[in-house]
A and B are shown apart, each in its own frame.
Chain A
Amino acid sequence: MSAIELRGVAKQYPPREPGSLPQDLLRGVDLTVRRGEFVAVEGQSGSGKSTLLHVLGGLDREFAGEALVLGCDLRAVTDAELAALRHTQIGFVFQSFNLLPALTALENVLLPDFFGDGVPDAERRAREALDRVGLADKARARPAALSGGERQRVAIARALVARPPLLLADEPTGNLDARTGEGVIDLFRQLHREGMTLLIVTHEARVSHSATRVLVLREGRLHADGAEAVETE
Chain B
Amino acid sequence: MKIGKLIRLARGNLVRELGALAVSAGGVALGTGCLVFFLALGAGLQGVVNQVFPVSTREVEVVVPQLAIGNLLGEQKIDDATVQKLRALRGAAAAYPKMQLRVPAVTRFSGPFFGRELRMGLEVVATGLMPELVGEDARMPFEDRGESQPIPVVVNRRLLELYNKVFAPQRNLPRLTDSMLVGFQIPLELGKSWVVSRSLPDSQETSMQLVGFSERATLAGVSMPLAAIRRINRKYGADADTYSSVLVRAQSADDVGDVAAGVRKLGLEIDDTERLYAVQIGAAVELVTLALSLLAALITVLAAVNTMQAFYASVRERTREIGVLRAVGATRGDVAAVVLAEAAATGLAGGVIGVVLARLAGALLDQLARTGLPEFPFKPATFFTFHPGHLALGVGVALLAALLGAFLPARAAARLEPAKALTES
Chain B 15-54 interface residues, beta-carbon cutoff 8 Å to A: 15-16
A98:B9 contact, CB within 8 angstroms: no
Q: Which residue of B lies closest to A92 (CB)?
A: B327
Residue in A57, A98, A102, A158 whose beta carbon sits within 8 Å of that of B16 in the complex: A102
Q: How far is the CA of A162 from the CA of B328 in the complex (A)?
A: 9
Give the chain B neighbours of A60 by CB distance below 8 A: 417-420
Chain B 329-343 interface residues, beta-carbon cutoff 8 Å to A: 329-332, 334
Number of chain A residues close to chain B: CB under 8 A: 31
Asked if B423 is an interface residue, CB under 8 A from chain A, the answer is yes
Give per-residue flags for A82-117: 1 if the beta carbon is below 8 A from chain B beta carbons, else 0. Answer: 011011100010100010111100010001111110
A103:B12 contact, CB within 8 angstroms: yes
Q: Flag the segment in B238-246, B317-325, B362-370, B401-409 that touches A.
A: B317-325
Give the chain B neighbours of A115 by CB distance below 8 A: 1, 325, 328-331, 334
A79:B331 contact, CB within 8 angstroms: yes
Residue in B6, B12, B329, B422 whose beta carbon sits within 8 Å of that of A116 in the complex: B329
A114:B5 contact, CB within 8 angstroms: yes
Asked if B13 is an interface residue, CB under 8 A from chain A, the answer is yes
Q: Which residue of A lies closest to B338 (CB)?
A: A114
B12:A87 contact, CB within 8 angstroms: no
Q: How far is the CA of A195 from the CA of B330 in the complex (A)?
A: 26
Residue in B1, B15, B16, B327 whose beta carbon sits within 8 Å of that of A59 in the complex: B327
B331:A80 contact, CB within 8 angstroms: yes
Residue in B324, B334, B423 whose beta carbon sits within 8 Å of that of A100 in the complex: B324
Asked if B98 is an interface residue, CB under 8 A from chain A, the answer is no
Chain B 390-425 interface residues, beta-carbon cutoff 8 Å to A: 417-420, 422-423
Give the chain A neighbours of B16 by CB distance below 8 A: 101-102
Asked if B8 is an interface residue, CB under 8 A from chain A, the answer is yes
Q: How far is the CA of A116 from the CA of B6 in the complex (A)?
A: 12
Q: How far is the CA of A10 from the CA of B287 in the complex (A)?
A: 67
Q: How far is the CA of A62 from the CA of B417 in the complex (A)?
A: 10
Q: Which residue of B lies closest to A116 (CB)?
A: B329
Give the chain B neighbours of A114 by CB distance below 8 A: 1, 5-6, 8-9, 330, 334
B324:A86 contact, CB within 8 angstroms: no
Q: How far in angstroms is the closest Cβ of chain B from A145?
A: 15
Give the chain A neighbours of B320 by CB distance below 8 A: 98
A86:B12 contact, CB within 8 angstroms: no
Given A60-B419, A102-B12, also A111-B328 (CB < 8 A)? yes
Most B CB within 10 A of own CB, among A62, A103, A115: A115
Asked if B2 is an interface residue, CB under 8 A from chain A, the answer is yes
Chain B 295-337 interface residues, beta-carbon cutoff 8 Å to A: 320-321, 323-332, 334
Residues of A near any B CB (own CB < 8 A) = 50-51, 54, 57, 59-60, 62, 79-80, 83-84, 86-88, 92, 94, 98, 100-103, 107, 111-116, 118, 158, 162
18 further A-B pairs in the complex, CB-CB below 8 A; given A60-B420, A83-B329, A83-B331: A54-B422, A57-B327, A59-B417, A60-B418, A87-B329, A92-B328, A98-B327, A98-B422, A100-B321, A101-B16, A102-B12, A102-B13, A112-B328, A112-B329, A113-B5, A114-B334, A116-B1, A158-B328
